[in-house]
């Protein structure tokens, strides 16, 4: 196995100085100061004038950097809002799978479906009905003289009692579905 060459004292100090942020800054400044000196020597320009030239370039550079920074933040913001929009779209396009739940003091089980409302750009709850308390079939909501009833066609067919009185308001159930669905979306 090859053994690592031991580092010279100079390398070790250099590394230490470089790692130290103050040290590295001093070196950087030193290098930056050295470059115009060499440039001035080659081009035969006085040191002060070289700085003037650099100063002019720096102002231009400053604007370039400023534009780049602003551009970066605008781009980041755009990306974020695009991602948000994409999320919203996905939520909107995929038909919700939440189609059944228990509501109200009587713990009635309800089922529903969704239909895409292109005018409002969202899924609208449709065919919201309570399930038969005996067999769990979707009932038909009908208005009788003494109020709304949920009638089960299967129980009627089988010759059993088929009328449940509707104990919840449809609007309340619908609002609760929307509330619970929003919670599901929040959780992800
Ligand atoms: Zn039934």
- Of residues 18 and 66, more confidently modeled: 66
How far is the centre of ligand 1, averaged over its atoms, from the C-alpha of 155 (Å)? 4
How far is the centre of ligand 1, averaged over its atoms, from the C-alpha of 140 (Å)? 11
How far is the centre of ligand 1, averaged over its atoms, from the C-alpha of 105 (Å)? 20
What pLDDT does residue 129 have?
Answer: 94
Residue 2 predicted with pLDDT over 60: no
Contact 140, 150 (CB under 8 A): yes
**For the chain, domain boundaries:** 9-91, 100-187
Which residues partner with 111 through β-bridges?
100, 129
Give per-residue pLDDT as tens, 130-172. Answer: 999 999 999 999 999 988 999 999 999 999 999 998 889 999 9
Contact 176, 170 (CB under 8 A): no
The CA distance from 150 to 164, in Å, is: 5
Return the C-alpha torsion angle 168, 173, 175, 178, nearest 10.
170
Give per-residue pLDDT as tens, 60-109. Answer: 788 888 899 999 999 999 999 888 887 777 666 788 899 999 998 889 99
- Of residues 22 and 77, more confidently modeled: 77
């Amino acid at each position: 196995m090859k053994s690592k060459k031991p580092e010279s004292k100079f390398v070790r100090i250099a590394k230490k100085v470089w790692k130290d942020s103050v040290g590295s800054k001093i070196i950087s400044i030193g290098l930056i100061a050295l470059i115009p000196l060499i440039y001035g020597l080659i081009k035969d320009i006085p040191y002060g004038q070289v700085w003037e030239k650099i100063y002019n370039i720096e102002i231009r550079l400053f604007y370039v950097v400023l534009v780049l920074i602003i551009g970066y933040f605008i781009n980041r913001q755009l990306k974020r809002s695009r991602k948000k929009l994409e999320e919203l779209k996905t939520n909107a396009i995929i038909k919700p799978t939440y189609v059944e739940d228990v509501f109200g003091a009587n713990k009635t089980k309800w089922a529903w479906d969704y239909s895409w409302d292109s005018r409002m750009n969202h899924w609208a709850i449709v065919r919201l009905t309570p399930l038969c308390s005996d067999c769990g079939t979707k009932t038909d909501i009908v208005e009788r003289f003494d109020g709304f009833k949920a009638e089960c066609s299967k129980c009627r067919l089988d010759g059993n009692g088929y009328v449940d009185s509707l104990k919840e308001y449809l609007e309340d159930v619908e609002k609760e579905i929307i509330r619970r669905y929003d919670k599901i979306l929040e959780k992800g």
